[in-house]
Structure 1
């Protein structure tokens, strides 16, 4: 039986459409039911999937690396070196933007939260119930390499990981 590309939870493809063999999903990172946030950096991918929302790095030919995360429901991730910007979440955290430090070697350490702030999203009023969105969904919220992009209310915002590290320092080390 031939397994589909998605059997590992995350699949990567070459420019010609061929499936790129990726390392196995680290079982200790929990289950992967849905890929909430994903970005490509160099020859690898970074993701933060549902259900436990770890931050996981896949590079062909290398073992998967992963970090535990307290951030639930992230919608976008951008990575530069050992830092990441993680955006979005559930409820009021939909406007959350967090700078995290990823400790070496990446075999289950905690992703240390350096600082959290709010993205400029528009409030969704009136809130109908506890499950209703608190913020209007933006036109775009995506990570591309080392940069997070938000397009909302006709404005394009960008946050680079290195700029956040420079501005806020690195309280984790």
Structure 2
């Protein structure tokens, strides 16, 4: 089976390797971010909120440090706003506690709100909208929020078949792509369009955890069981995605990632494997 190797994208500076990685992501502009604590929080021992550090590595290699005060999320999702601020959200909700915190570029909290339990994906677009994809313990599906907690768009107004779990979510520009369980269609979401804000294509590739899109070309990464490291290519026609090729996606050294996390951004799929100090990228457009 043909193998495609990730290309190194960004690495956490060695000076910060003694800290614990709470969360990490790659934003819509390609900058990698790590949310770091002094050590791994211990359940029922450590008090929250915590003061944490965000280390940002820009595509050109410049490093930026931002201290965030009083972060409440124990299992956080992280992304950056276009104005230099950050969004931190708890994957699970707690009663009477706002789940999402928004910080300005100086690390000060400016707003907080809740988006609902079971957050699988949290991705900010170029306009500063916050896209949230939920897993199956919350039927909300996919929603788009403002940084002040205004709900701009929700998937239950669209005819998306079998949306019980947002397996894959890709946000690039102001467009989102999704591949949800149970039917795994390819879904394009453009809330600003009045003619056809949501397009849906039938898809036979099951279980992907990330999707990349470039013109009519699509790549799906991940799957069930032995297909965990699968990289499946397809081509979009009028009504469906037709599979064209199947291979494996590996780390830059050719090994398989094992435990990993992924982020989809347009034609790119970013992959980070344990110990979560480096991001690699697969670019469908290259």
Q: Give the alignment's TM-score, normalised by structure 2.
A: 0.44
* Alignment of structure 1 residues 1-150 onto 2, 5 Å: 9-21=141-153, 24-26=157-159, 29-60=160-191, 61=193, 62-104=196-238, 109-120=239-250, 136-138=258-260, 140-150=261-271
Whichever structure has more strand as a proportion of its residues is 2
Question: What secondary structure, in the 3-state scheme, does the structure 1 residue paired with 2:228 have?
Answer: helix
The alignment covers a number of residue pairs equal to 142
Contact 1:54 1:68 (C-alpha < 8 Å) held by counterparts: yes
1:153 to 1:9, Cα distance in 2 relative to 1, 3 A: closer
CA distance in structure 2 between the aligned counterparts of 1:71 and 1:21, rounded to whole angstroms: 27
1:110 to 1:10, Cα distance in 2 relative to 1, 3 A: same
C-alpha offsets along residues 76-116 of structure 1, whole Å, 9 cap, x if unaligned? 11222222221000001110012221123xxxx22011222
Whichever structure has more helix as a proportion of its residues is 1
CA distance in structure 2 between the aligned counterparts of 1:49 and 1:31, rounded to whole angstroms: 7
Determine which structure has more spread, i.e. the larger CA radius of gyration: 2
Q: Give the alignment's TM-score, normalised by structure 1.
A: 0.70
Counterpart in the other structure of 2:281: 158
Contact 1:9 1:25 (C-alpha < 8 Å) held by counterparts: no
What runs of 5+ residues in structure 1 fail to find an aligned partner? 124-134, 164-173
Question: What secondary structure, in the 3-state scheme, does the structure 1 residue paired with 2:285 have?
Answer: helix
CA distance in structure 2 between the aligned counterparts of 1:7 and 1:90, rounded to whole angstroms: 22
Structure 1 range deviating more: 152-161 or 78-87: 152-161
1:153 to 1:31, Cα distance in 2 relative to 1, 3 A: closer
The CA RMSD measured in Å over matched residues stands at 2.6
Counterpart in the other structure of 2:83: none
CA distance in structure 2 between the aligned counterparts of 1:14 and 1:46, rounded to whole angstroms: 19
Deviation of the 1:145 alpha carbon: 2.3
What runs of 5+ residues in structure 2 fail to find an aligned partner? 1-115, 117-131, 133-137
